[in-house]
Every structure is written in C-alpha cells, then in structure tokens.
Structure 1
C-alpha cells in the first residue's frame, strides 16, 4: 500500500486548487513531494526521470475507442518507472486530468485528500516500477482521463512531466437498473402469445427443436378412372385468400368454430400453439388431373384446433372453408364424413353429420364455412401415470367435375399425412395423473411454455439473466435464439450444481451491501442458467449437463470461477450490475453468477416459479423459455456477445 506523500499521509486541506494549473508546467511549479533544494551538491547531481510508458491497470484485453487504455476495475492502479542516474532513491508523483476524445487534458482531478490532489509514492530505488492505488470513487466510470508523472529525489525535480497516458474505466459489464416497483404483480404465463416452435423435451425421439423446416407432406388422391383422370388433395400450399363475402356464415358462427380463440382463424395458413391450445390452419388444393396434369383447382382452408379444456378430456374444432370461390370446373365438392383416431385409452366421440355448423358441400361461387366439434376422453382412473396421445382425423369428400361426368370421384384427406415439416409433433398431447399439476390434466408436450420474470419488482435478478441470455453464446432460455431451458427435477443434482457455481460465502465476499433492500435482506449468489435446469453450468457432462462450466486449465468438475461474475451495487442514485472488479470476461462463458439482493434473487423465483411449474405441468426434461422482461432500448455501448463491454441502461417491461 502506497502513501500519499513523501512524509506520510497528508491532511485533507482542500480537494483541489482554486484555479486550474497549466497541465504542462514544470513539476517544480506544484511541488507536492516537497520543496526543491538548490544546494551546490544538488545542482551538480543528475535529476531523476519518469518512465516514457506510463500505464493504467488492470487492463482489458481490448483497448477502448480512441486508443484509451481500458481499465476493468474501479480499483484503478497507475504505474510508471522511475530512474536516477546518481542511484538516488526517488518518489513519483501521479497527476490525473479529465480529457477530450483526443486525449488533451481538460480539468485536473483530485485523486488524494491532500493540498495538491495527487498521489506521491514513497522513496524507491532507481529502476523501480511504481504503482499508485487510486481510492475507489475518485474516478468516474466511462470517462476519458489522462495521467502523467514527475520524479523527485529529495532535492531535484525532473524538468518536465512524463508523456500522458490515456485511460478510461469501462467495466466489462455495467448495467444501470431501473428503480424497483415492489407493488408490481407477478406476470402470468397462462396468456402468453402462441408460437410455432416445436420444442421437444430433452432426449425425446425425433427433431428436438424445429420450426417450419422442409415439408414432408404427400398428395392424397383417388384411383384414376379409365381415362386417366383422378382427383387429389394436394400438399398444403399458401395461397392468396379471396375477399368475396361469405354466404351462410355469421360472425358468431365463425367465432364459435374456434371457441373464441382469436389467433386461431382461417385468414392465413399457420400453425401455432400454446401449452393448452394448438391451431393448425392449412390451405389445401383440391384438383382434377388427367394423366398427372392438373386441369382445375379449388383451394380450401382447413382448420383444426385442439383445446385441452378438461381433466380427462379435450376437444377438436374442425373448420372447412374455401380460400377462393369454387371455380366452375367443379359442379360440386361435398365433404361426406369424418373419422377421428387416437391411441390407447384415448377415445374420440364421433358426432353425427347433423352436428356440423353450416352445410358441408360447395358449388361454384360459394365461400361459406362449415365447422364440427368433436370431444375426446382418456382414462384417468390410475394414479401416477403418464400417457402420450396423437389425435388424427380423416376427411372424405365426393368431388364432381362439371363436364358431364355423373359419377363423383371420392377421395380422402388425412391430417397426419400433410404436416408442415418440423411441426409434425406439435399436436402431441401428454396427459398425466401425477402430481405435476393440480389434479389430472393434459398439455401439448412439444410446446415450450414461457416463464416470465417480474422485472419491475426484482430488476437485479432479471438483469443478471438478461445479461447471460443476451451476451453469451448459449443464450439460455432465449426464444429468439432458439435455446430453451430444460427443467431438471433431481434435488440432489440441483444442490451439487448450485454448490459448484455458488459456494458458501461467495456472495458475502464479492457483493456490496448497497444493493440490499433493507436490514432484513442479505446478499445471495444468483446463478444462471438455473441449477434446476440441465443448462446449469454446475452440471457436468457425465451427469447429463448441457453446458458444464469447466476451468480454463482443464478438468471435468464444473466451477463458478468459469462463469461471468457480477455484483449489484448502488452507484450514484441508481443500482448497477457490475462485473467483478479486475475481471475481464470473454463473453464466451456458458454461465453467470452474481452477488445480488437475496430478496430479488428469491422472490424472482420462489412461489412464482412454483406456480408456473404447476400451471404448465412441467416434468423432468421439459423445455421452457425465459422472458426476462428487460430491455436495453438501444442504449448498449459496443456489441452484445462480441467480446466487448456490455454497458447499457435497462428498463423493465
């Protein structure tokens, strides 16, 4: 530890001179190290000299813009060498100024509580590199500074200052957090928007994660007649929907066809799902062909919505509607029957033809809708069981060309033969009689629900998850990056993972009490990805972990030292999330740990997450997304995820 003056610790007389000195005036004009002694011996001796390459530390791997040295800690160290040709011991005075973008000094900064506002080292041997520790709080973050040094051997000053060294304190992570609103209610995951991602539980057969990949659908055709003519349901293909008025379809009927689910409609081809509703809308061509060449086409919109609305039952809503007016090449298209399929104890209850809303045949020029509701039940009588069902439907049609052929062509359309590729299992239903949720129930197991942080109330935890999700290559829980979290339900493994990332005492040793909410609060270590996930950095590959945080030097046991380390601290009037002083993350890390308020850490999960688990009937290896509800609003300096500092002002949504 260095003293602030040659003779000991100086008294706090004033923090800075009343007027700004000339930054380049001779060091002897402001003799902080003591008066120059104009003796004959001193005059005959050599003057001490500062080094030509002063530096600030600890330095980042990358320089800041403008050639400024980037310091990665609020505990700044200034360094330079001092030599004396006579071999005398010398002191080194460190003087800091703010600067413009080019490094020109603007205003002298007091970095010590003495008359001169400078740090003066003790006497050191010639050739020594001197380090001055600037007290925390003397220098501001994200501000341009320059410093220089002057040497003094007890009698003589060097005649000029050392070259200026440009630096600025830019912590690799500096997130300004919004002020908490502890009255903000926890958001619910029950009404999150649908999406089209098929996201299977970890280890499930087939494509684990996909969204509208290449199609694998097939044509479904009748037998060809003696002339080589046949009719087919073609592969579903987007088509511009007609705008002619529908006949025979009231708005109330259209809404009833999908039980009032507004995002499930025949306006355009789509496949969307939530945890409890799946809506598959297809534009399916019906065409007449001769020897494989299409002669006429009618385009239909087929809609099938599955709704998991009961503890041992679910419902299908089927809608058929022309996408465009039926062309005159068809005399009539008549859908004459449906057949529903399911597996095991799943039983469809077939309605008779009178249950259709709207007539099920169309002639040229018509665009009305027809819809049918079908219920399914499943056996929920045995406790502790889990079942997988994949309901299917066959639709038969008589298709009569308009050219005098009296005998209609009959063909069928089976839903499972015309999936939009990559979503073929989005309609798979998992029903269970376990304790995963309240009572018995069903979910679309290949749809990942979204857990939503209460960022308004607990911004420290939300900001930490936002950082790791945005700035690291694993992007845990990010729907935008298609990186789901996978729930891990083994409590013993949960403890192992957490203890590796957050050993006892880490938060107390690395946190700051200014982040605490009140006297009852205590610092916690917040790990992300969660210890209760297979994405946890604390879970080894041998244990089934996806992203073990392994030490840089090798080894197979994960450690929190390989994560990005941060801590919450009040800075000015706002709480910030800072990277740990002196650390310089690469942003290629797979995890994060942060010393934050225990209240923010625990309340951001706790009962809120338990409710989410039960509402969504989450089981081991189920996928889910995390919405941090944090937004940088375009305030981030440098790049997110590019190895550069993440300096942003966050807002809670």
Structure 2
C-alpha cells in the first residue's frame, strides 16, 4: 500500500511516499511492464563496510559511500535514492540531512542523492559529498528504488552508520607576517665530544716507578741530579680546575676568554664554530733515582689547562687559545719552563701563524703560582681544494734546571675541522661533527610548524628528532650532492604540481590578507631537501621512499574563525595508521613557502655551512607541552 503523498512544500514526515518527491525523475507508467522495483535489505555504509557489535556501520571518513541492492521483477535496470537523517540519543532518525549533488556541488533536489542505474539484482551506491556529514557522528539512511517509470511504494528499512572522529586537532593562532626571524644561534647547545686522545712523544724512555698505561711519557734521566722527568695530561673536570681556568691564580679577575660559553663547562664540547677542549691537568714530575732505583721522592708540578677554538663561517683563518694556570710547583725544581707547540696537521692544507702569550711560560721564585699564561695562535686553511678536513694537535714540553724535558701531545678527534668553498664561494670552516638544530618560525607560520611537529612526533621515522636520534640529512642542490638529485624531484613525488588545488582538502585556508594571490599549496615533511624525504629514491640513499604522496599522513590547515586555526587530519579518508613514512598537508602557499624558503637557506644551511648528507635536528619548543601519544593528537599551541 502506498504511503501518504507529499506536495513538495515544507519538510514532510519521515514516512512520505518516494514518488511524491521524485528525485530520480517523474513517474510515467509508460513501460510495458508495470512491476515496481524493490530496495534490497543489504544496506551498507563505509568504507571499510564493517559493523560494530551494535550493528552500526563504521565509516572511516565523512564522505561516506552508501549502498544497497535493488531488484525489479520485470528485469528492468533500476537506481536507488539515498536519504540520510541525523539520529536521536537513542539512535532513531531525527532530522533529514540536506545532501549535496556530487556532480554539481549544489544542494540536491529534495535533499537526497540518486545512484546510477544498475541491473536488476545489482548493488547501487552513492558517495556523499565532503562537508555533508560531521565527524564522529551517528546517522541513519534508507533507500527507495526507481526503474525509470515506477517508484518503489515504500522506503527501505533504516540502517545506521557512524563517521570516524578526528585523529588530529591542533589549535593554533593567526600567522604573524611581521614576526621576527628566529635567532638560530640561541638554539645551538654545546655538544659533548670525547676527551682528547694522547699520543706518544719521543724520546720515550721506560718510566721508573711510573706506568706507561697511565698516560705517562718519560724522558731521559738527568745523571747529574738523578731525576727522571715524566709528563702526562689528565682530564680533570673538578670545580677547582674550572675555577682556576676562569679566574687564574688570583681567583679574582676573569681570564680572557675566546669562547664565552666555556666558563665553568666540564669536559669537552663543540658548537658549529666554537670548541671548548676539556679541562685538564698537565702534570710534570721528577722521579728521584739512586743506584738505578727510585727513592720514593717525587717532585711535582701541575697546571690547569683549557683550550678554546673559534672558527669563522666566512674566513679560512681561525684562532685557538690555550690557558695555563699553575696549580703546584715543587721548589726543588728551581724553575719550570713550558714549551707549547700548536700544530694544524697536514701542513700542505694548513699554515700556522706566530704564537702570542700573555704571561711568561716560566714559573720560578718563591711564589711560583704568581701568574697564569694565555696563548693564542691563528691557523689558515690554504683553500686550494673545495673541501678539506683539518686536525689540531697540541704538544707541551716541560723542563727545569734539574730535570730533562718530558713532553705530552694530544688531539681532540671530535673537534675535527672541515673547511670548504662549496656551501659558499667564500671559504669558511666548521666543526662538522656538530649537529646543528633548526627551529622553524612558529609565530610567522604556525600550521607549517604544527605539521612538522606532528609527523616528527608521531611517525616511527621521527624525522629530525634528537630525542629519537633520528636526524635529517641535508640534500643540497643537485650540483652539490653525490647522486645529483634535484630536491624538487623529491617534492614532485609527494606534492605534484597542482595537487593542492585538485586533490587537497578544500577547507585549506589561504591568507589573502597577507598575500593577495595566495592559494592552497602542498607541504611535505620530511622536507624535500633531505635524504629522509619520502620522494628520495632508495637507490640514491633515500631512507623512506614511497610511491606517491598518497602514502603519507594527510592533513590540512584551516581557519575556523578569525584568530583561531586548526591543523586537522583529512577526514575525507581513513585515519592515519601512524606507520606511514611521511606527511603531506594542504595549507596556504604563503605559509608553506615562508616556513622554509629563505629562512632555511640563509638563516641555517648557509649560515652553518651545511654540505651534502650533513645531519641536523629540528626542534619545536612551543610544542613541549603537547602529547603525541594519544589516539587523537589534540593540543593548543601556545599553551593556554
């Protein structure tokens, strides 16, 4: 029996006759056969077209596909009209959802959408337009059949489905186009390196009452005095030694410093252009020998030793400084003189300038601790090659009127220097084993920073994470990298030209008030200019190669109201698995390009003379309070 007719005015009761609102076309009754088509009982929603324990279909997106079978006793091809309702708390239909015509993008007639015709017994389906449904919401739907002439008398039974919730919801402020550039130097913390290694220095004489394994290097016995000299360098990070290197013998006035952050720092550390090599104690001993055997009497002298090196990003000449502060000198030595030799190893690559000392290198008299000595020397790379590595080595020889010389040489492998004319035609030198930290400009481009933080924090590749020990590896221009790969070719794999306009989430917001021509763009992380990029082929050293950007986590940045932006996962597809290797986000082109562009090239890669495959970290200080371990990554930045 047919249900009540509807004139098409207003909103009908939910049980109106399908033919009274002929969304699929007018009913004609001109066909030879006159059997009405019938909706099946196989209503499904998805993908992935699976139900929960309550029988509700679970859709992993909001642009849901609805389907049902349809039959016609006459064998006519038929279609289905699909109608969607919101639901009450108890799950019953509440209000009809106005659906969008998927072909025109305009409101569909009568608020329903119609499938294509299918053969009798076939499955008809429609995919709802993005924006018609909300995330994390339960709906009900039903169908009615039409064979081109006749409508099904009644609607089918109801079936319920639930759209997935968001996996990402990061709340952000407005971009500030006038935000100051990030001071990258402020984020470069000292990196600890191994203490220097000691080298044997001739003459090497078997020590009397001393073990060579303890680092001692001994000279020849003074036959006149019966004293054998020995010396060694001992790492010493005690407070007394650090205080001595800061304030000298008087303990009141600070000694001159070449690297300001060396003061009171223990052990050996480097930055990209500066090094603090240790704090040490240089020991010189005279072992009293009689009849070929030690008497047990030992003359002691020692100095606190600190070494600092300062390089220049725009010069092939650099400086090192050595500080010597006497700690104890046995008066029986009469006096002790130190001879210091600064060497830039591989003489064909590096030349040494003259030494200059503030304070004599001889300690003598009743008060041998009366002064400290601070020495400087310049070294110059010859700049004949495009790049060279240099090692600094220092040798101290001590001697006194009663004891022959004994010498100790050391070298800090972790402070190896690399000089180049590749990153810039102007030569410069860095401590290339230092891993610098890049900090994006959050105040200027919040969505781009949020995207990079999300991918670094959530994916197992953790690109650029210092905590996970997963640095990014820099890929410079094709002419400057080993495989000759243009970084833009990486970008085209993840973000093909025109992708954002054609396939990106349509809710990505442009900032036309900042740039009048701004439009949606595609942002990827890890960056295209890295070996970590999903677009970098494995055959060229790529670490995370994917086939296309479709394999990445999909997000977009949108302004929900003035002053409030959100980074969302793209609800048009399945939620991220968080096993992906990369991230792709639709966002403002101005935000995307400004977040890196010149800021990275001039303010970081050139500033720190980054070369092919150099590692670096990416840090997000504004996100320290955010927890990426939750199922839904939700955070407000900056912290409210």
When the two structures are superposed, what TM-score results if normalisation uses the length of structure 1? Answer: 0.68
CA contact (8 A) 1:437 1:615 kept: no
Q: Partner residue of 2:210?
A: none
Give the superposition deviation at 1:414. 2.3
> In the alignment, which of 607, 610, 625 is matched to residue 615 of structure 1?
607
1:597 is aligned to 2:591: no
Q: Partner residue of 2:618?
A: 626
Aligned pairs, number = 563
1:258 is aligned to 2:249: no
Assess, with a 3 A threshold, how the Cα gap between structure 1 residues 647 and 412 changes in structure 2: closer, same or farther: same
- SS of the counterpart of 1:609? helix
Q: Partner residue of 2:207?
A: none
Assess, with a 3 A threshold, how the Cα gap between structure 1 residues 81 and 238 changes in structure 2: closer, same or farther: farther
Assess, with a 3 A threshold, how the Cα gap between structure 1 residues 78 and 606 changes in structure 2: closer, same or farther: same
Give the superposition deviation at 1:455. 2.1
Q: Partner residue of 1:577?
A: 567
- SS of the counterpart of 1:75? coil
User: 1:399-423 deviations in whole A, cap 9, x for unaligned?
Assistant: 9xxxxxx95586433222xx5xxxx
- SS of the counterpart of 2:456? helix
> In the alignment, which of 356, 359, 362 is matched to residue 359 of structure 2?
356
1:515 is aligned to 2:502: no
Give the superposition deviation at 1:489. 2.4
- SS of the counterpart of 2:218? coil
Q: Name the CA distance, whole Å, in 1 between partners of 2:300 and 2:537.
A: 57
User: 1:373-418 deviations in whole A, cap 9, x for unaligned?
Assistant: 32223255x676433211111123469xxxxxx95586433222xx
Give the superposition deviation at 1:180. 0.6
Q: Name the CA distance, whole Å, in 2 between partners of 1:77 and 1:469.
A: 33
- CA RMSD in angstroms comes to 5.5
CA contact (8 A) 2:351 2:380 kept: yes
CA contact (8 A) 1:333 1:397 kept: no
Assess, with a 3 A threshold, how the Cα gap between structure 1 residues 595 and 121 changes in structure 2: closer, same or farther: closer
CA contact (8 A) 2:229 2:406 kept: no
Q: Name the CA distance, whole Å, in 2 between partners of 1:277 and 1:595.
A: 40
CA contact (8 A) 2:455 2:582 kept: yes
Q: Name the CA distance, whole Å, in 2 between partners of 1:472 and 1:171.
A: 17
Q: Name the CA distance, whole Å, in 2 between partners of 1:547 and 1:649.
A: 32
> In the alignment, which of 49, 52, 63 is matched to residue 75 of structure 1?
63
Q: Name the CA distance, whole Å, in 2 between partners of 1:321 and 1:516.
A: 62
- SS of the counterpart of 2:305? strand
Q: Partner residue of 2:172?
A: 177
Assess, with a 3 A threshold, how the Cα gap between structure 1 residues 65 and 264 changes in structure 2: closer, same or farther: farther
Assess, with a 3 A threshold, how the Cα gap between structure 1 residues 130 and 596 changes in structure 2: closer, same or farther: same
User: 1:138-197 deviations in whole A, cap 9, x for unaligned?
Assistant: 5444x4x33456788966789x976x66x4532444433331111102213344333316
Assess, with a 3 A threshold, how the Cα gap between structure 1 residues 395 and 363 changes in structure 2: closer, same or farther: farther
> In the alignment, which of 535, 539, 547 is matched to residue 532 of structure 2?
535
> In the alignment, which of 175, 194, 215 is matched to residue 220 of structure 1?
215
Assess, with a 3 A threshold, how the Cα gap between structure 1 residues 471 and 194 changes in structure 2: closer, same or farther: same
Assess, with a 3 A threshold, how the Cα gap between structure 1 residues 571 and 359 changes in structure 2: closer, same or farther: farther
User: 1:459-478 deviations in whole A, cap 9, x for unaligned?
Assistant: 23322322332222332333
What are the ranges of 5 or more consecutive residues in structure 2 without an aligned counterpart?
21-37, 100-106, 146-151, 200-212, 288-292
What are the ranges of 5 or more consecutive residues in structure 1 without an aligned counterpart?
18-28, 37-46, 198-210, 400-405, 552-558, 640-644
CA contact (8 A) 1:346 1:376 kept: no
1:486 is aligned to 2:474: yes
Q: Name the CA distance, whole Å, in 1 between partners of 2:281 and 2:424.
A: 38
Assess, with a 3 A threshold, how the Cα gap between structure 1 residues 172 and 513 changes in structure 2: closer, same or farther: closer
CA contact (8 A) 1:253 1:357 kept: no
Assess, with a 3 A threshold, how the Cα gap between structure 1 residues 342 and 247 changes in structure 2: closer, same or farther: closer
Q: Name the CA distance, whole Å, in 1 between partners of 2:284 and 2:56.
A: 70
1:189 is aligned to 2:189: no
> In the alignment, which of 581, 586, 592 is matched to residue 577 of structure 2?
586
Assess, with a 3 A threshold, how the Cα gap between structure 1 residues 54 and 473 changes in structure 2: closer, same or farther: same
Give the superposition deviation at 1:250. 5.5
Q: Name the CA distance, whole Å, in 1 between partners of 2:52 and 2:452.
A: 26
Assess, with a 3 A threshold, how the Cα gap between structure 1 residues 173 and 240 changes in structure 2: closer, same or farther: same
Assess, with a 3 A threshold, how the Cα gap between structure 1 residues 617 and 625 changes in structure 2: closer, same or farther: same
Assess, with a 3 A threshold, how the Cα gap between structure 1 residues 507 and 243 changes in structure 2: closer, same or farther: closer
CA contact (8 A) 1:564 1:589 kept: yes
> In the alignment, which of 521, 541, 545 is matched to residue 545 of structure 1?
541
> In the alignment, which of 447, 455, 461 is matched to residue 442 of structure 2?
455
CA contact (8 A) 2:217 2:408 kept: no
- SS of the counterpart of 1:257? coil
Q: Partner residue of 1:394?
A: 395
Q: Name the CA distance, whole Å, in 2 between partners of 1:610 and 1:124.
A: 57
Q: Which moved more, 1:448-457 or 1:297-306?
A: 297-306
Q: Partner residue of 1:341?
A: 343
- SS of the counterpart of 2:262? coil
1:506 is aligned to 2:499: yes
Q: Name the CA distance, whole Å, in 2 between partners of 1:398 and 1:174.
A: 71
Q: Name the CA distance, whole Å, in 2 between partners of 1:446 and 1:32.
A: 76
CA contact (8 A) 1:32 1:118 kept: no
Give the superposition deviation at 1:629. 5.4
Q: Partner residue of 1:236?
A: 235
CA contact (8 A) 1:282 1:301 kept: yes
Q: Name the CA distance, whole Å, in 2 between partners of 1:234 and 1:471.
A: 46
Q: Name the CA distance, whole Å, in 1 between partners of 2:301 and 2:17.
A: 95
Give the superposition deviation at 1:232. 5.4
| Bigger Rg over Cα | 2
User: 1:39-69 deviations in whole A, cap 9, x for unaligned?
Assistant: xxxxxxxx99967x96554579xx9999998
1:96 is aligned to 2:86: yes
- SS of the counterpart of 1:180? coil
Q: Partner residue of 1:275?
A: 272
> In the alignment, which of 309, 318, 324 is matched to residue 306 of structure 1?
309
User: 1:110-136 deviations in whole A, cap 9, x for unaligned?
Assistant: 53379xx99798899998877675554
Q: Name the CA distance, whole Å, in 2 between partners of 1:455 and 1:594.
A: 16
CA contact (8 A) 2:523 2:587 kept: yes
- SS of the counterpart of 1:625? strand
Give the superposition deviation at 1:342. 1.0
> What does residue range 397-416 of structure 1 map to in structure 2 within 5 Å?
397=398, 411-416=406-411
User: 1:572-619 deviations in whole A, cap 9, x for unaligned?
Assistant: 554333334214433333323333222122222222223133322233
> What does residue range 407-446 of structure 1 map to in structure 2 within 5 Å?
411-416=406-411, 419=412, 424-425=413-414, 427-432=415-420, 434=421, 436-437=423-424, 439-446=426-433
Give the superposition deviation at 1:306. 0.4
1:112 is aligned to 2:112: no
Q: Name the CA distance, whole Å, in 2 between partners of 1:229 and 1:69.
A: 90
User: 1:500-532 deviations in whole A, cap 9, x for unaligned?
Assistant: 232222121122364211140122222333333
